[in-house]
Amino acid sequence: MNPILWTQKQDAGPSARQFPAMAYDSSRGRTVLFGGGTGTTALTGLNDTWEWDGEYWTQVADTGPPGRLQAVMAYDVHRNQTVLFGGMSGGVFKGDTWGWDGRNWTPLADSGPSRRVNSAMAYDSKRQRIVLFGGEHAASIGPAADTWLWDGAAWTQAPVTGPSARYRHAVAYDSIRDRTVLFGGFDEKTGALLGDTWEWKRF
């Protein structure tokens, strides 16, 4: 039995960067990458869009959302759309929502969750909603502890309590158990790394 290994597929494609956003488009069989940052201090946000087909990277757009890093993306299989939210560039936090259909970016909303970076979101395929939790506001506000749902047309804040305020956490949707699972993150108030696990289900 062959061991499971990481294999480097290619080193040609997107330029070197950090904090890009990425999601898998299961309808077209493509991994979509947007933006990211260059530099090490005053990070400049990039605005290029790339797709990975399993063998090659192809740049598919250089227009659409303004350049940014630390945004989040999730693929909405019901609407055949990759959804991008938030991020920042040059210290400016963003709170806009964009959709990618494989050819073009379309602005979807500029209201909903407040401007933030390092949030996390996943697509709930049963309810056909994207679930977003938390993130980092500007330094004067601190981290967020809110839950938002995207239905393809608008964001709605879910009136619930749950995980403490945090950013740099991760979420994924478990379609077998019908739960959105959250793990970890950073608590800015205490300076502590978090190791708790939470599950979300809207009945």
Which residue shows structure tokens 């940014």?
68
- Domain spans, the chain: 70-200
Token pair listed for 121: 């979101």
pLDDT tens-digit readout, 73-97: 999 999 999 999 999 988 899 999 9
Distance CA 129, CA 151 (A): 5
Instruction: Inform me whether the pLDDT recorded for 203 exceeds 70.
Output: no
- Using 50, 70 and 90 to split pLDDT, how confident is the model at 42? low
Token pair listed for 10: 């290619």
Going through 28-142 in order, the beta strands assigned E by DSSP cover 30-34, 37-38, 44-45, 49-52, 57-61, 72-76, 81-89, 92-100, 105-109, 120-124, 129-136
Top mean-pLDDT range of 1-15, 61-75, 136-150? 61-75
In DSSP terms, 42 is beta-bridged to none
In this prediction the pTM is 0.94
Yes or no: say if 189 and 165 are a contact pair by the CB < 8 Å rule.
Answer: yes
Fold of 70-200: Neuraminidase (2.120.10)
pLDDT tens-digit readout, 100-143: 999 999 999 999 999 999 999 999 999 999 999 999 987 667 89
Distance CA 194, CA 52 (A): 32
SS3 10: coil
